[in-house]
Amino acid sequence: MRLKIITIFCACLLGCAGIIPKNNSTVVFDDGNHFGLLSKSLIIDHDSYTWFPKQYDAYHPDLNEFDSAYLKQISIKIFMGTWCHDSKREVPRLYKILDELYYDYKNFEIIGLTKDKKGYFQDYASFGITNTPTIIFYRNDLEIGRIIEKPKGSLEYQMARIFAK
């Protein structure tokens, strides 16, 4: 009898474990915007984000003075809002620059924040994000500079100044 009760208890316990939701999501679409870990393809392919191809196609970066060798050592983390007008302008421009310089996106991360500049799945308070977009550049895992909201001058000029440090 005792063995039967233990067996039933264990079966119930294991059965309930199967209905516990597993939230392994990294991105969510809510109220017309994406939050979490984003990608270029997600942004380009979404019907609501007509701003991306318009900004990307219209931007013609001046890369004559830009040394693309710096990019090989650079990791990039972007905090943006798909709801934010500055992000809608600067993120497609950044992608255009990086594409034209054949950047290897393996060291690239783009995070969609909520309107109060917080992460949806993770706490990013340690990054001190107050405005979007915030583009942070790293060399050897150390931050070497950031562009917040809008660059001083062109985006590629500001990036070149940061990389030259």
Q: Distance between CA atoms of 60 and 111, rounded to whole angstroms?
A: 25
In a domain, 42, yes or no: yes
Band the pLDDT of 1: cuts 50, 70, 90.
Answer: low
In a domain, 4, yes or no: no
In a domain, 41, yes or no: yes
In a domain, 1, yes or no: no
CA end-to-end span of the chain, whole Å? Answer: 75
Residues 4-22, mean pLDDT to the nearest whole number: 43
In a domain, 18, yes or no: no
The helix/strand/coil state of 150 is: coil
139: domain CATH number? Answer: 3.40.30.10
Residue 150: alpha-carbon gap to chain centroid: 17
What count of other Cβ atoms lies within 10 Å of the Cβ of residue 62? 10
In a domain, 33, yes or no: yes
In a domain, 2, yes or no: no
pLDDT digits (tens, 9 = 90+) for 78-95: 999 999 999 999 999 999
In a domain, 7, yes or no: no
Domain with 107 in it = 24-163
Q: Distance between CA atoms of 146 and 67, rounded to whole angstroms?
A: 18
Which pTM does this prediction carry? 0.83
Structural domain count, the chain: 1
Helices of type H across 108-154: none
pLDDT digits (tens, 9 = 90+) for 38-62: 999 999 988 889 999 999 999 999 9
